Amino acid sequence: MITVYPGPDRHHWSNEWLDSWQSFPATGNYDLAGNAHGVLLVNNDDTIDPGEGLDRHRHADVEILTWVIDGAVEHRDSHGNASVLRPGQIQRMTAGTGIAHSERNAMPRASHTPSRVVQMWVATDTPGLTPGYAEVDLTDDLADGRLVLAASGRPGVAGAVSLANRYSSLHIARLAPGGRCELPAAPFGHLYVPTGHLALTGADTALVAGDAARFSGTRATEVIAVDATELLFWEMHAQPVLSSVAPL
């Protein structure tokens, strides 16, 4: 079963400098595990005003992945990691026993240039891990239009960055018009289209920029780009209990 969530119907939250569209309610006092699909707790598409962002704040026992769509995002954390992320770079932060970090639009206010970023949280399958950090540039891998394994915790399935969740993988593709790829079969899947227009073969379904779809018990699914399209697909083989995971 595939259920499409049109962009305007996704959860929305905003303040003076942040505009956030969310696959699952995440901003505020929400039950992340109760609202999750598979092991995916958060999938936020955030537009951040120049020079603005989140001051240092703390997380624990969650895998946080950041993917920039436009602009640049500055990351700093309490374990000494500091970087500026740009489109094509995947970042994974293992919160583990606890890590504090800040995230800001790296563009100065005078630039009037917002940054747009997709942030995703995955339930860890092992609580109390040592915090960790990884960052990889996937620009060259994505250039040929294939589905790239950006992150994975599945045994024997190595992604560009590792995940502390043995039931999940994140796939990313950049498709030219007419380009196609096959999304893997899984008990749970989450497809997000930040840019473009995507058709799903074998189903009377299409997604445009800002749309998401949840897959439940689906076979491998071929998708075709109507326009130049970027997609993020979570392949998941478990459901979460916030700091542990029940396998299927």
Task: List, in order of start, the domains of the chain with CATH numbers.
Answer: 11-138 (2.60.120.10), 148-241 (2.60.120.10)
- Whether the per-residue pLDDT at 243 is higher than 50: the answer is no
Q: How many CA atoms lie within 13 A of 84 on its CB side?
A: 7
pLDDT at 244 over 70: no
Reduced to 3 states (helix: H, G, I; strand: E, B; else coil), residue 111 is helix
Helix (H, G, I), strand (E, B) or coil at 92: strand
* Residue 240 predicted with pLDDT over 70: no
pLDDT score at 221: 94
Centroid of chain to Cα 212: 11
Higher pLDDT, 79 or 120: 120
Q: What mean pLDDT is reported for the chain?
A: 90
Is the predicted pLDDT of residue 54 greater than 80, yes or no?
A: no
Phi-psi region of 61 (alpha: psi -120 to 50; beta: other; left: phi over 0): left
Average pLDDT score over residue span 235-244: 71
Could you count the other beta carbons within 10 Å of the beta carbon of residue 28?
Answer: 7
In the structure encoding, which two tokens stand for residue 89, read together? 């770079």
Answer with the residue of higher pLDDT: 229 or 106: 229
pLDDT in tens, 59-90: 788 999 999 999 999 888 887 788 899 999 99
What is the three-class DSSP state of 129?
coil
Query: Which pLDDT score, from 0 to 100, does residue 241 have?
Result: 54
Contact 76, 106 (CB under 8 A): no
Q: Look at the pTM and tell me if it is higher than 0.95.
A: no
